[in-house]
Structure 1
Amino acid sequence: MLYCIVIWLTNICLQGMRAAKKGMVIDMSYKIVVDSCCELPEEYKKDARFEIVPLGLEVGDYQVMDDETFNQKEFLEKVAAYPGCPKSSCPSPERYREAYHCEAQDVFVVTLSSKLSGSHNSAVLGKNLYHEKYGDKNIYICDSESASCGETHIALKAMELEEAGLSFEEIVKELDAFRDAMHTYFVLDNLETLRKNGRLTGVKALVASTLSIKPVMGAIGGSIVQKGQAIGIKKALTKLADILAKEVVKSEEKVLMITHCNCPERAELIKSMILDKVRVKDALVMDTAGISSMYANDGGIIVTI
Protein backbone atom coordinates (compact mmCIF):
# COMPACT_ATOMS: atom_id res chain seq x y z
CA MET A 1 0.00 0.00 0.00
CA LEU A 2 2.81 2.41 0.96
CA TYR A 3 4.61 1.55 -2.26
CA CYS A 4 1.53 2.45 -4.34
CA ILE A 5 1.18 5.79 -2.55
CA VAL A 6 4.83 6.61 -3.22
CA ILE A 7 4.44 5.77 -6.92
CA TRP A 8 1.27 7.90 -7.13
CA LEU A 9 2.97 10.88 -5.50
CA THR A 10 5.97 10.47 -7.78
CA ASN A 11 3.76 10.56 -10.87
CA ILE A 12 2.01 13.69 -9.61
CA CYS A 13 5.37 15.39 -9.04
CA LEU A 14 6.60 14.40 -12.49
CA GLN A 15 3.47 15.83 -14.12
CA GLY A 16 3.97 19.07 -12.22
CA MET A 17 7.62 19.24 -13.27
CA ARG A 18 6.71 18.72 -16.92
CA ALA A 19 4.12 21.48 -16.75
CA ALA A 20 6.60 23.76 -14.99
CA LYS A 21 9.23 23.11 -17.66
CA LYS A 22 6.72 24.18 -20.30
CA GLY A 23 6.00 27.29 -18.26
CA MET A 24 2.30 26.57 -17.86
CA VAL A 25 -0.29 25.39 -15.40
CA ILE A 26 -2.97 23.17 -16.89
CA ASP A 27 -6.49 24.12 -15.80
CA MET A 28 -8.69 21.04 -16.12
CA SER A 29 -11.87 22.84 -15.02
CA TYR A 30 -12.75 23.27 -18.70
CA LYS A 31 -12.44 21.36 -21.95
CA ILE A 32 -12.52 22.45 -25.58
CA VAL A 33 -13.85 19.94 -28.12
CA VAL A 34 -13.33 20.58 -31.84
CA ASP A 35 -14.08 18.57 -34.93
CA SER A 36 -11.14 17.60 -37.10
CA CYS A 37 -11.60 20.44 -39.57
CA CYS A 38 -10.02 22.59 -36.85
CA GLU A 39 -6.25 22.92 -37.30
CA LEU A 40 -4.75 23.16 -33.83
CA PRO A 41 -1.18 24.42 -33.39
CA GLU A 42 1.23 21.60 -32.52
CA GLU A 43 1.54 22.59 -28.85
CA TYR A 44 -2.19 22.01 -28.30
CA LYS A 45 -2.65 18.71 -30.14
CA LYS A 46 -1.58 16.74 -27.04
CA ASP A 47 -2.95 19.25 -24.54
CA ALA A 48 -5.45 17.56 -22.20
CA ARG A 49 -7.72 20.61 -22.38
CA PHE A 50 -8.42 19.90 -26.05
CA GLU A 51 -10.04 16.95 -27.80
CA ILE A 52 -10.33 16.55 -31.56
CA VAL A 53 -13.35 14.54 -32.73
CA PRO A 54 -12.48 13.12 -36.16
CA LEU A 55 -14.58 13.07 -39.28
CA GLY A 56 -14.22 10.30 -41.85
CA LEU A 57 -12.78 10.65 -45.36
CA GLU A 58 -13.59 8.55 -48.41
CA VAL A 59 -12.00 8.54 -51.85
CA GLY A 60 -13.60 5.65 -53.71
CA ASP A 61 -12.58 2.48 -51.86
CA TYR A 62 -9.97 4.38 -49.84
CA GLN A 63 -11.32 5.25 -46.39
CA VAL A 64 -9.47 6.91 -43.52
CA MET A 65 -10.24 8.81 -40.33
CA ASP A 66 -9.15 12.42 -40.07
CA ASP A 67 -7.01 11.86 -37.00
CA GLU A 68 -3.31 11.54 -36.15
CA THR A 69 -3.00 8.76 -38.75
CA PHE A 70 -3.97 11.07 -41.63
CA ASN A 71 -1.34 11.21 -44.37
CA GLN A 72 -1.86 14.34 -46.46
CA LYS A 73 0.51 13.33 -49.28
CA GLU A 74 -1.13 9.94 -49.71
CA PHE A 75 -4.61 11.47 -49.52
CA LEU A 76 -3.91 14.13 -52.14
CA GLU A 77 -2.46 11.48 -54.47
CA LYS A 78 -5.64 9.40 -54.06
CA VAL A 79 -7.82 12.44 -54.78
CA ALA A 80 -5.79 13.36 -57.89
CA ALA A 81 -6.08 9.81 -59.26
CA TYR A 82 -9.79 9.38 -58.48
CA PRO A 83 -12.26 10.40 -61.23
CA GLY A 84 -15.08 10.89 -58.74
CA CYS A 85 -15.51 13.22 -55.81
CA PRO A 86 -14.04 12.64 -52.33
CA LYS A 87 -16.57 12.61 -49.51
CA SER A 88 -16.62 13.08 -45.77
CA SER A 89 -18.71 11.66 -42.93
CA CYS A 90 -19.42 13.53 -39.71
CA PRO A 91 -18.89 12.10 -36.22
CA SER A 92 -21.81 10.34 -34.55
CA PRO A 93 -23.74 12.04 -31.74
CA GLU A 94 -22.52 9.26 -29.44
CA ARG A 95 -18.90 10.14 -30.23
CA TYR A 96 -19.54 13.73 -29.24
CA ARG A 97 -21.41 12.63 -26.11
CA GLU A 98 -18.39 10.72 -24.87
CA ALA A 99 -16.10 13.68 -25.63
CA TYR A 100 -18.23 15.73 -23.21
CA HIS A 101 -17.98 13.04 -20.53
CA CYS A 102 -15.07 14.30 -18.45
CA GLU A 103 -14.27 16.00 -15.17
CA ALA A 104 -14.35 19.48 -16.67
CA GLN A 105 -17.13 21.72 -15.42
CA ASP A 106 -17.36 23.74 -18.64
CA VAL A 107 -17.20 22.23 -22.14
CA PHE A 108 -16.89 24.40 -25.23
CA VAL A 109 -17.46 22.79 -28.63
CA VAL A 110 -16.43 24.33 -31.95
CA THR A 111 -17.67 22.81 -35.20
CA LEU A 112 -17.59 23.33 -38.93
CA SER A 113 -20.23 25.69 -40.26
CA SER A 114 -23.64 24.02 -40.06
CA LYS A 115 -24.13 25.16 -43.68
CA LEU A 116 -21.21 22.95 -44.76
CA SER A 117 -21.38 19.83 -42.58
CA GLY A 118 -23.57 17.73 -40.32
CA SER A 119 -20.88 17.89 -37.63
CA HIS A 120 -22.64 20.73 -35.82
CA ASN A 121 -25.95 18.87 -35.70
CA SER A 122 -24.21 15.75 -34.36
CA ALA A 123 -22.57 17.84 -31.65
CA VAL A 124 -25.98 19.23 -30.61
CA LEU A 125 -27.55 15.77 -30.56
CA GLY A 126 -24.55 14.56 -28.56
CA LYS A 127 -25.25 17.24 -25.96
CA ASN A 128 -28.84 16.03 -25.62
CA LEU A 129 -27.63 12.45 -25.25
CA TYR A 130 -25.12 13.54 -22.62
CA HIS A 131 -27.78 15.21 -20.49
CA GLU A 132 -30.02 12.13 -20.79
CA LYS A 133 -27.27 9.75 -19.72
CA TYR A 134 -25.07 11.75 -17.36
CA GLY A 135 -27.10 14.74 -16.17
CA ASP A 136 -26.43 18.49 -16.15
CA LYS A 137 -23.22 20.15 -17.31
CA ASN A 138 -22.27 23.45 -18.94
CA ILE A 139 -21.90 22.57 -22.64
CA TYR A 140 -21.82 25.29 -25.28
CA ILE A 141 -21.74 24.33 -28.96
CA CYS A 142 -20.46 27.07 -31.25
CA ASP A 143 -21.27 26.93 -34.93
CA SER A 144 -18.06 28.50 -36.25
CA GLU A 145 -19.83 29.67 -39.43
CA SER A 146 -16.40 28.99 -40.88
CA ALA A 147 -13.93 26.10 -41.13
CA SER A 148 -10.25 25.25 -40.67
CA CYS A 149 -8.42 28.16 -39.00
CA GLY A 150 -11.77 29.85 -38.38
CA GLU A 151 -12.48 27.08 -35.90
CA THR A 152 -8.96 27.46 -34.50
CA HIS A 153 -9.61 31.12 -33.84
CA ILE A 154 -12.72 30.38 -31.78
CA ALA A 155 -11.19 27.45 -29.89
CA LEU A 156 -8.14 29.45 -28.82
CA LYS A 157 -10.38 32.38 -27.88
CA ALA A 158 -12.38 30.06 -25.60
CA MET A 159 -9.14 29.02 -23.90
CA GLU A 160 -8.05 32.64 -23.51
CA LEU A 161 -11.36 33.65 -21.91
CA GLU A 162 -11.34 30.67 -19.54
CA GLU A 163 -7.78 31.42 -18.46
CA ALA A 164 -8.85 35.03 -17.85
CA GLY A 165 -11.37 33.79 -15.30
CA LEU A 166 -14.65 34.68 -17.04
CA SER A 167 -17.80 32.78 -16.14
CA PHE A 168 -19.33 30.22 -18.51
CA GLU A 169 -22.15 32.61 -19.41
CA GLU A 170 -19.73 35.46 -20.08
CA ILE A 171 -17.56 33.26 -22.29
CA VAL A 172 -20.55 32.12 -24.35
CA LYS A 173 -21.53 35.76 -24.97
CA GLU A 174 -17.95 36.75 -25.84
CA LEU A 175 -17.49 33.79 -28.21
CA ASP A 176 -20.66 34.62 -30.12
CA ALA A 177 -19.52 38.21 -30.57
CA PHE A 178 -16.00 37.07 -31.55
CA ARG A 179 -17.40 34.64 -34.14
CA ASP A 180 -19.69 37.29 -35.61
CA ALA A 181 -16.77 39.72 -36.03
CA MET A 182 -14.44 37.15 -37.62
CA HIS A 183 -13.67 37.24 -41.37
CA THR A 184 -12.98 34.16 -43.50
CA TYR A 185 -11.45 34.20 -46.98
CA PHE A 186 -10.01 31.56 -49.30
CA VAL A 187 -8.50 31.05 -52.72
CA LEU A 188 -8.37 27.55 -54.19
CA ASP A 189 -6.72 26.12 -57.27
CA ASN A 190 -9.64 23.73 -57.64
CA LEU A 191 -13.27 24.29 -56.58
CA GLU A 192 -14.56 20.96 -57.91
CA THR A 193 -14.83 19.20 -54.54
CA LEU A 194 -16.88 22.05 -53.09
CA ARG A 195 -19.05 22.21 -56.19
CA LYS A 196 -19.69 18.47 -56.49
CA ASN A 197 -20.52 18.22 -52.80
CA GLY A 198 -23.09 20.99 -53.17
CA ARG A 199 -21.23 23.57 -51.08
CA LEU A 200 -21.37 26.33 -53.71
CA THR A 201 -25.14 26.48 -54.16
CA GLY A 202 -25.29 30.06 -52.91
CA VAL A 203 -22.62 31.31 -55.30
CA LYS A 204 -24.46 32.80 -58.26
CA ALA A 205 -21.65 34.59 -60.07
CA LEU A 206 -18.98 31.89 -59.94
CA VAL A 207 -16.76 32.11 -63.01
CA ALA A 208 -14.26 29.33 -62.54
CA SER A 209 -14.84 27.76 -65.94
CA THR A 210 -11.21 28.20 -66.92
CA LEU A 211 -8.16 27.30 -64.90
CA SER A 212 -6.78 30.84 -65.18
CA ILE A 213 -9.69 32.56 -63.38
CA LYS A 214 -9.39 32.24 -59.59
CA PRO A 215 -12.36 33.38 -57.49
CA VAL A 216 -11.69 34.95 -54.11
CA MET A 217 -14.21 33.37 -51.75
CA GLY A 218 -15.49 34.28 -48.31
CA ALA A 219 -18.16 33.31 -45.81
CA ILE A 220 -21.26 35.15 -44.65
CA GLY A 221 -23.28 33.53 -41.89
CA GLY A 222 -21.52 30.25 -42.62
CA SER A 223 -22.42 30.17 -46.32
CA ILE A 224 -19.79 30.49 -49.06
CA VAL A 225 -19.90 33.67 -51.12
CA GLN A 226 -17.74 35.07 -53.89
CA LYS A 227 -15.84 38.23 -52.96
CA GLY A 228 -13.99 38.80 -56.22
CA GLN A 229 -11.88 37.16 -58.88
CA ALA A 230 -8.58 37.51 -60.67
CA ILE A 231 -6.59 35.89 -63.44
CA GLY A 232 -3.94 33.65 -61.91
CA ILE A 233 -3.32 32.57 -58.34
CA LYS A 234 -0.92 35.39 -57.42
CA LYS A 235 -3.35 38.10 -58.53
CA ALA A 236 -6.13 36.30 -56.67
CA LEU A 237 -4.07 36.34 -53.48
CA THR A 238 -3.38 40.04 -54.02
CA LYS A 239 -7.12 40.57 -54.40
CA LEU A 240 -7.74 38.65 -51.17
CA ALA A 241 -5.27 40.86 -49.30
CA ASP A 242 -6.94 43.99 -50.71
CA ILE A 243 -10.43 42.83 -49.69
CA LEU A 244 -9.26 41.85 -46.20
CA ALA A 245 -7.59 45.24 -45.68
CA LYS A 246 -10.83 47.03 -46.63
CA GLU A 247 -13.15 44.88 -44.53
CA VAL A 248 -11.30 44.21 -41.29
CA VAL A 249 -11.73 46.67 -38.43
CA LYS A 250 -9.10 47.15 -35.69
CA SER A 251 -6.75 44.61 -37.25
CA GLU A 252 -4.03 45.50 -34.74
CA GLU A 253 -6.13 43.82 -32.03
CA LYS A 254 -6.57 40.60 -34.03
CA VAL A 255 -4.62 37.46 -34.90
CA LEU A 256 -4.12 36.54 -38.55
CA MET A 257 -4.40 32.80 -39.19
CA ILE A 258 -3.55 31.10 -42.46
CA THR A 259 -3.93 27.44 -43.35
CA HIS A 260 -2.52 26.01 -46.55
CA CYS A 261 -2.89 22.68 -48.30
CA ASN A 262 0.62 21.55 -49.21
CA CYS A 263 1.81 25.03 -50.27
CA PRO A 264 3.87 26.68 -47.48
CA GLU A 265 5.51 29.16 -49.87
CA ARG A 266 2.10 30.39 -51.02
CA ALA A 267 1.01 30.74 -47.38
CA GLU A 268 4.06 32.87 -46.61
CA LEU A 269 3.34 34.96 -49.71
CA ILE A 270 -0.22 35.81 -48.67
CA LYS A 271 0.99 36.45 -45.14
CA SER A 272 3.50 39.05 -46.37
CA MET A 273 0.90 40.58 -48.69
CA ILE A 274 -1.55 41.05 -45.83
CA LEU A 275 1.05 42.31 -43.36
CA ASP A 276 2.14 44.92 -45.92
CA LYS A 277 -1.39 46.34 -45.71
CA VAL A 278 -2.47 45.91 -42.08
CA ARG A 279 -0.94 45.53 -38.62
CA VAL A 280 -1.98 42.51 -36.56
CA LYS A 281 -1.40 41.31 -33.01
CA ASP A 282 0.07 38.02 -34.21
CA ALA A 283 0.19 35.76 -37.26
CA LEU A 284 -0.02 31.97 -37.38
CA VAL A 285 0.48 29.64 -40.37
CA MET A 286 -0.63 25.99 -40.30
CA ASP A 287 -0.98 23.09 -42.74
CA THR A 288 -4.42 21.59 -43.36
CA ALA A 289 -5.56 18.35 -41.79
CA GLY A 290 -7.86 15.91 -43.57
CA ILE A 291 -11.22 17.63 -44.01
CA SER A 292 -9.64 20.97 -44.88
CA SER A 293 -7.33 19.20 -47.34
CA MET A 294 -10.34 17.59 -49.00
CA TYR A 295 -12.17 20.86 -49.58
CA ALA A 296 -9.17 23.16 -50.14
CA ASN A 297 -7.44 20.68 -52.46
CA ASP A 298 -3.74 20.80 -53.26
CA GLY A 299 -2.60 24.43 -53.25
CA GLY A 300 -5.57 25.91 -51.42
CA ILE A 301 -5.23 28.89 -49.03
CA ILE A 302 -7.62 29.77 -46.18
CA VAL A 303 -7.33 33.02 -44.22
CA THR A 304 -9.20 34.13 -41.10
CA ILE A 305 -8.83 37.22 -38.97
Structure 2
Amino acid sequence: MSYKIIVDSCGELSPEMKASGYFATASLSIDVDDYHVIDDETFNQKEFLEKVAASPNCPKSSCPSPDTYMEKYHCDAAHVYAVTLSAELSGSYNSAVLGVELYKEEYGEKKIHVFNSKSASIGETLIAMKIAECEDKGMTFEEVIDTVETYIEDQRTYFLLESLEALRKNGRLTGLKAMVATALSIKPVMGATPEGTICQLGQARGMKKALVKMADEIAAHEEHAEDKILAISHCNCPARAEELKKLLLARLQPKDVIILDTAGISSLYASDGGVIAVI
Protein backbone atom coordinates (compact mmCIF):
# COMPACT_ATOMS: atom_id res chain seq x y z
CA MET A 1 0.00 0.00 0.00
CA SER A 2 1.46 3.35 -1.03
CA TYR A 3 -0.34 5.50 1.54
CA LYS A 4 -2.39 5.38 4.73
CA ILE A 5 -4.65 8.06 6.23
CA ILE A 6 -5.40 8.03 9.95
CA VAL A 7 -8.38 10.11 11.03
CA ASP A 8 -9.13 10.67 14.69
CA SER A 9 -12.60 9.43 15.55
CA CYS A 10 -14.17 12.89 15.56
CA GLY A 11 -14.08 12.47 11.77
CA GLU A 12 -16.67 10.16 10.26
CA LEU A 13 -15.53 7.55 7.73
CA SER A 14 -18.02 6.54 5.05
CA PRO A 15 -18.59 2.82 4.37
CA GLU A 16 -16.59 3.22 1.14
CA MET A 17 -13.65 4.75 3.00
CA LYS A 18 -13.68 1.92 5.56
CA ALA A 19 -13.80 -0.72 2.85
CA SER A 20 -10.95 0.78 0.81
CA GLY A 21 -8.21 -0.19 3.26
CA TYR A 22 -6.53 3.21 2.95
CA PHE A 23 -8.15 4.76 6.02
CA ALA A 24 -7.84 3.98 9.73
CA THR A 25 -9.31 5.52 12.87
CA ALA A 26 -7.49 6.71 16.00
CA SER A 27 -10.20 6.41 18.62
CA LEU A 28 -10.97 8.96 21.29
CA SER A 29 -12.90 7.80 24.35
CA ILE A 30 -15.89 9.20 26.22
CA ASP A 31 -17.07 8.89 29.81
CA VAL A 32 -20.63 9.55 30.96
CA ASP A 33 -20.48 8.94 34.72
CA ASP A 34 -19.38 5.27 34.95
CA TYR A 35 -20.33 4.52 31.32
CA HIS A 36 -17.09 4.30 29.29
CA VAL A 37 -17.17 4.39 25.50
CA ILE A 38 -14.40 3.77 22.99
CA ASP A 39 -15.29 5.75 19.88
CA ASP A 40 -14.85 2.96 17.35
CA GLU A 41 -17.11 0.63 15.35
CA THR A 42 -18.71 -0.55 18.62
CA PHE A 43 -20.14 2.95 19.34
CA ASN A 44 -23.91 2.83 19.85
CA GLN A 45 -25.32 6.31 19.25
CA LYS A 46 -28.81 5.53 20.57
CA GLU A 47 -27.50 4.06 23.84
CA PHE A 48 -25.00 6.90 24.23
CA LEU A 49 -27.64 9.62 23.77
CA GLU A 50 -29.88 7.88 26.31
CA LYS A 51 -27.03 7.83 28.85
CA VAL A 52 -26.30 11.52 28.23
CA ALA A 53 -30.00 12.44 28.61
CA ALA A 54 -30.25 10.50 31.89
CA SER A 55 -27.09 11.96 33.45
CA PRO A 56 -26.92 15.29 35.32
CA ASN A 57 -23.23 15.48 34.42
CA CYS A 58 -21.55 16.47 31.19
CA PRO A 59 -19.75 13.72 29.25
CA LYS A 60 -15.95 13.97 29.11
CA SER A 61 -13.76 13.01 26.17
CA SER A 62 -10.14 11.86 26.05
CA CYS A 63 -7.91 12.04 22.96
CA PRO A 64 -5.78 9.18 21.61
CA SER A 65 -2.35 8.83 23.23
CA PRO A 66 0.89 9.51 21.32
CA ASP A 67 1.58 5.76 21.58
CA THR A 68 -1.72 5.02 19.84
CA TYR A 69 -0.74 7.25 16.93
CA MET A 70 2.78 5.76 16.82
CA GLU A 71 1.36 2.27 16.40
CA LYS A 72 -1.06 3.47 13.71
CA TYR A 73 1.91 4.94 11.80
CA HIS A 74 3.67 1.56 11.96
CA CYS A 75 2.46 0.05 8.69
CA ASP A 76 3.62 -0.88 5.19
CA ALA A 77 2.58 2.43 3.60
CA ALA A 78 5.35 4.68 2.27
CA HIS A 79 3.34 7.85 3.00
CA VAL A 80 1.32 8.20 6.20
CA TYR A 81 -1.01 11.09 7.00
CA ALA A 82 -2.99 11.89 10.14
CA VAL A 83 -6.02 14.19 10.25
CA THR A 84 -7.09 15.47 13.66
CA LEU A 85 -9.83 17.70 14.95
CA SER A 86 -8.88 21.34 15.50
CA ALA A 87 -5.82 21.80 17.70
CA GLU A 88 -7.73 24.66 19.37
CA LEU A 89 -10.40 22.22 20.58
CA SER A 90 -8.53 19.02 21.46
CA GLY A 91 -5.17 17.53 22.36
CA SER A 92 -5.49 15.03 19.51
CA TYR A 93 -3.27 17.08 17.17
CA ASN A 94 -0.47 17.34 19.74
CA SER A 95 -0.73 13.61 20.44
CA ALA A 96 -0.45 12.85 16.73
CA VAL A 97 2.63 15.09 16.38
CA LEU A 98 4.27 13.50 19.44
CA GLY A 99 3.44 10.12 17.93
CA VAL A 100 5.62 11.02 14.93
CA GLU A 101 8.60 11.66 17.22
CA LEU A 102 7.98 8.41 19.08
CA TYR A 103 7.79 6.54 15.78
CA LYS A 104 11.13 7.94 14.62
CA GLU A 105 12.79 6.98 17.91
CA GLU A 106 11.32 3.49 17.77
CA TYR A 107 11.39 2.62 14.08
CA GLY A 108 13.45 5.25 12.23
CA GLU A 109 12.61 7.76 9.51
CA LYS A 110 9.35 7.67 7.58
CA LYS A 111 7.26 10.16 5.60
CA ILE A 112 4.51 11.09 8.07
CA HIS A 113 2.53 14.33 8.15
CA VAL A 114 -0.11 15.48 10.64
CA PHE A 115 -2.85 17.80 9.39
CA ASN A 116 -4.61 20.08 11.87
CA SER A 117 -8.09 20.12 10.30
CA LYS A 118 -9.02 23.40 12.06
CA SER A 119 -12.44 21.74 11.86
CA ALA A 120 -14.12 18.62 13.21
CA SER A 121 -16.49 15.83 12.23
CA ILE A 122 -17.27 15.76 8.51
CA GLY A 123 -14.65 18.46 7.91
CA GLU A 124 -12.00 15.87 8.77
CA THR A 125 -13.72 13.43 6.42
CA LEU A 126 -13.40 15.83 3.48
CA ILE A 127 -9.71 16.45 4.26
CA ALA A 128 -9.03 12.70 4.35
CA MET A 129 -10.83 12.33 0.99
CA LYS A 130 -8.72 15.17 -0.45
CA ILE A 131 -5.50 13.45 0.65
CA ALA A 132 -6.60 10.23 -1.07
CA GLU A 133 -7.52 12.17 -4.23
CA CYS A 134 -4.07 13.78 -4.33
CA GLU A 135 -2.29 10.46 -3.75
CA ASP A 136 -4.38 8.76 -6.42
CA LYS A 137 -3.33 11.49 -8.87
CA GLY A 138 0.29 10.50 -8.28
CA MET A 139 1.38 13.64 -6.42
CA THR A 140 4.60 13.54 -4.41
CA PHE A 141 4.40 13.51 -0.60
CA GLU A 142 5.33 17.22 -0.50
CA GLU A 143 2.79 18.12 -3.19
CA VAL A 144 0.05 16.34 -1.26
CA ILE A 145 0.91 18.29 1.90
CA ASP A 146 0.94 21.66 0.10
CA THR A 147 -2.30 20.97 -1.78
CA VAL A 148 -4.16 19.73 1.29
CA GLU A 149 -2.95 22.54 3.57
CA THR A 150 -4.28 25.02 0.99
CA TYR A 151 -7.56 23.07 0.88
CA ILE A 152 -7.84 23.30 4.70
CA GLU A 153 -7.35 27.08 4.57
CA ASP A 154 -10.19 27.34 2.05
CA GLN A 155 -12.58 25.00 3.87
CA ARG A 156 -15.50 26.38 5.93
CA THR A 157 -17.33 24.66 8.77
CA TYR A 158 -20.85 25.49 10.01
CA PHE A 159 -23.07 23.90 12.62
CA LEU A 160 -26.47 24.25 14.22
CA LEU A 161 -27.24 22.52 17.52
CA GLU A 162 -30.28 22.03 19.70
CA SER A 163 -28.05 22.79 22.70
CA LEU A 164 -24.60 24.29 23.20
CA GLU A 165 -24.33 22.91 26.74
CA ALA A 166 -21.88 20.10 25.94
CA LEU A 167 -19.55 22.56 24.21
CA ARG A 168 -19.90 25.14 26.97
CA LYS A 169 -19.39 22.74 29.87
CA ASN A 170 -16.30 21.28 28.22
CA GLY A 171 -14.78 24.72 27.74
CA ARG A 172 -15.05 24.75 23.94
CA LEU A 173 -16.84 28.12 23.79
CA THR A 174 -14.11 30.11 25.55
CA GLY A 175 -13.97 33.72 24.44
CA LEU A 176 -17.49 33.77 23.02
CA LYS A 177 -19.99 36.29 24.28
CA ALA A 178 -22.77 34.88 26.44
CA MET A 179 -25.22 32.90 24.36
CA VAL A 180 -28.79 34.05 23.97
CA ALA A 181 -31.37 32.39 26.22
CA THR A 182 -32.39 28.98 24.90
CA ALA A 183 -35.75 29.47 26.62
CA LEU A 184 -36.61 31.87 23.80
CA SER A 185 -35.98 29.07 21.25
CA ILE A 186 -33.21 31.18 19.76
CA LYS A 187 -30.87 28.92 17.81
CA PRO A 188 -27.39 30.31 17.13
CA VAL A 189 -25.76 29.39 13.81
CA MET A 190 -22.15 28.57 14.62
CA GLY A 191 -18.97 28.19 12.62
CA ALA A 192 -15.22 27.72 12.79
CA THR A 193 -12.76 30.59 12.59
CA PRO A 194 -9.71 30.30 10.27
CA GLU A 195 -7.71 29.36 13.40
CA GLY A 196 -10.10 26.53 14.28
CA THR A 197 -11.94 28.07 17.22
CA ILE A 198 -15.74 28.36 17.44
CA CYS A 199 -17.63 31.54 16.55
CA GLN A 200 -21.26 32.59 16.22
CA LEU A 201 -22.35 33.57 12.70
CA GLY A 202 -26.01 34.40 13.24
CA GLN A 203 -29.19 33.30 14.98
CA ALA A 204 -32.88 32.67 14.39
CA ARG A 205 -35.96 31.77 16.40
CA GLY A 206 -36.68 28.06 16.08
CA MET A 207 -34.81 25.32 14.25
CA LYS A 208 -36.66 25.70 10.94
CA LYS A 209 -35.73 29.37 10.54
CA ALA A 210 -32.22 28.64 11.83
CA LEU A 211 -31.69 26.05 9.07
CA VAL A 212 -32.64 28.69 6.48
CA LYS A 213 -30.28 31.17 8.17
CA MET A 214 -27.51 28.56 8.10
CA ALA A 215 -28.08 27.87 4.39
CA ASP A 216 -28.05 31.61 3.66
CA GLU A 217 -24.82 32.01 5.65
CA ILE A 218 -23.11 29.18 3.75
CA ALA A 219 -24.27 30.45 0.34
CA ALA A 220 -23.15 34.02 1.12
CA HIS A 221 -19.58 32.95 1.81
CA GLU A 222 -19.18 30.20 -0.76
CA GLU A 223 -17.44 30.72 -4.07
CA HIS A 224 -16.79 28.06 -6.69
CA ALA A 225 -19.10 25.52 -5.02
CA GLU A 226 -19.23 23.64 -8.31
CA ASP A 227 -15.63 22.48 -7.66
CA LYS A 228 -16.34 21.28 -4.13
CA ILE A 229 -18.05 18.51 -2.18
CA LEU A 230 -20.71 19.58 0.31
CA ALA A 231 -20.62 17.34 3.39
CA ILE A 232 -23.28 17.17 6.10
CA SER A 233 -23.18 15.14 9.31
CA HIS A 234 -26.03 14.85 11.77
CA CYS A 235 -26.69 13.47 15.23
CA ASN A 236 -29.88 11.41 15.14
CA CYS A 237 -31.75 13.73 12.75
CA PRO A 238 -31.57 12.45 9.14
CA ALA A 239 -34.63 14.46 8.08
CA ARG A 240 -32.99 17.68 9.29
CA ALA A 241 -29.83 16.85 7.34
CA GLU A 242 -31.92 16.23 4.21
CA GLU A 243 -33.74 19.53 4.72
CA LEU A 244 -30.42 21.37 4.99
CA LYS A 245 -29.23 19.63 1.81
CA LYS A 246 -32.41 20.73 0.00
CA LEU A 247 -31.99 24.34 1.20
CA LEU A 248 -28.36 24.40 0.11
CA LEU A 249 -28.97 22.85 -3.31
CA ALA A 250 -31.44 25.65 -3.97
CA ARG A 251 -28.57 28.09 -3.40
CA LEU A 252 -25.44 26.23 -4.53
CA GLN A 253 -24.44 23.62 -7.11
CA PRO A 254 -21.66 21.56 -5.48
CA LYS A 255 -20.07 18.76 -7.47
CA ASP A 256 -21.28 16.19 -4.90
CA VAL A 257 -23.08 15.91 -1.55
CA ILE A 258 -22.39 13.38 1.20
CA ILE A 259 -24.39 12.88 4.39
CA LEU A 260 -23.10 10.80 7.31
CA ASP A 261 -24.21 10.03 10.88
CA THR A 262 -21.99 11.48 13.60
CA ALA A 263 -19.73 9.05 15.41
CA GLY A 264 -19.05 9.25 19.16
CA ILE A 265 -17.11 12.47 19.68
CA SER A 266 -19.21 14.39 17.18
CA SER A 267 -22.36 13.03 18.83
CA LEU A 268 -21.08 14.26 22.19
CA TYR A 269 -20.55 17.82 21.00
CA ALA A 270 -23.31 18.09 18.38
CA SER A 271 -25.78 16.61 20.88
CA ASP A 272 -29.09 15.03 19.86
CA GLY A 273 -30.47 16.91 16.83
CA GLY A 274 -27.30 18.71 15.78
CA VAL A 275 -26.24 19.21 12.15
CA ILE A 276 -22.81 20.10 10.78
CA ALA A 277 -22.06 21.26 7.24
CA VAL A 278 -18.65 21.68 5.63
CA ILE A 279 -17.73 22.80 2.13
Stretches of structure 1 lacking an aligned partner (at least 5 in a row): 1-27
- 2:214 partner amino acid: L
Matches of 1:252 and 1:45, distance apart in 2: 26
Task: Say which one has the larger Rg.
Answer: 1
Q: What's 1:4 paired with?
A: none
Cα distance change on mapping 1:231 and 1:161 into 2, 3 Å: same
Q: What's 2:115 paired with?
A: 142
Matches of 2:59 and 2:86, distance apart in 1: 19
Structure with the larger RCO, 1 or 2 (CA within 8 Å, 6+ apart): 2
Cα distance change on mapping 1:250 and 1:84 into 2, 3 Å: same
SS of the residue corresponding to residue 183 of structure 2 reads coil
Indicate yes or no: 2:147 matched with 1:177.
Answer: no
The runs of 4+ residues in structure 1 deviating greater than 4 Å are: none
Matches of 2:196 and 2:184, distance apart in 1: 26
Q: What's 1:298 paired with?
A: 272
Deviation by residue 1:63-85 (Cα, 9 ceiling, x = unmatched) = 01000110000000000000010
Cα distance change on mapping 1:208 and 1:145 into 2, 3 Å: farther
The alpha carbon displacement at 1:207 in A equals 1.5
Q: Equivalent pairs: percent with the same residue?
A: 58
Matches of 1:103 and 1:144, distance apart in 2: 25
Deviation by residue 1:219-259 (Cα, 9 ceiling, x = unmatched) = 01100000000000011110010011010110111100000
The alpha carbon displacement at 1:205 in A equals 5.2
Per the normalisation by structure 1, the TM-score is: 0.90
Deviation by residue 1:121-178 (Cα, 9 ceiling, x = unmatched) = 1000100000111111111100000000000010000000000000000010001100
Matches within 5 A, 1:158-173: 158-173=131-146
Aligned counterpart in structure 2 of residue 246 of structure 1, from 194, 216, 220:
220
SS of the residue corresponding to residue 259 of structure 1 reads strand
Contact 1:202/1:223, CA 8 A, preserved across alignment = no
Indicate yes or no: 2:265 matched with 1:265.
Answer: no
Matches of 2:115 and 2:6, distance apart in 1: 10
Matches of 1:85 and 1:289, distance apart in 2: 18
Matches within 5 A, 1:181-260: 181-204=154-177, 206-210=179-183, 212-220=185-193, 221-260=195-234
Indicate yes or no: 2:127 matched with 1:154.
Answer: yes
Deviation by residue 1:90-146 (Cα, 9 ceiling, x = unmatched) = 111000000000111101110010111111110001000001111111111000000
Q: What's 1:280 paired with?
A: 254
Matches of 2:223 and 2:170, distance apart in 1: 33
- 2:234 partner amino acid: H
Q: Which moved more, 1:210-219 or 1:268-277?
A: 210-219
Per the normalisation by structure 2, the TM-score is: 0.98
Matches of 1:202 and 1:186, distance apart in 2: 18
Stretches of structure 2 lacking an aligned partner (at least 5 in a row): none
- 2:270 partner amino acid: A
Cα RMSD after superposing both structures: 0.8
SS of the residue corresponding to residue 167 of structure 2 reads helix
- 2:247 partner amino acid: M
Matches of 1:87 and 1:205, distance apart in 2: 22
Matches of 2:18 and 2:181, distance apart in 1: 36
Q: What's 2:52 paired with?
A: 79
The alpha carbon displacement at 1:46 in A equals 3.4
The alpha carbon displacement at 1:203 in A equals 1.5
SS of the residue corresponding to residue 58 of structure 2 reads coil
Matches within 5 A, 1:14-29: 28-29=1-2
Indicate yes or no: 2:7 matched with 1:64.
Answer: no
Number of residues paired by the alignment?
A: 278
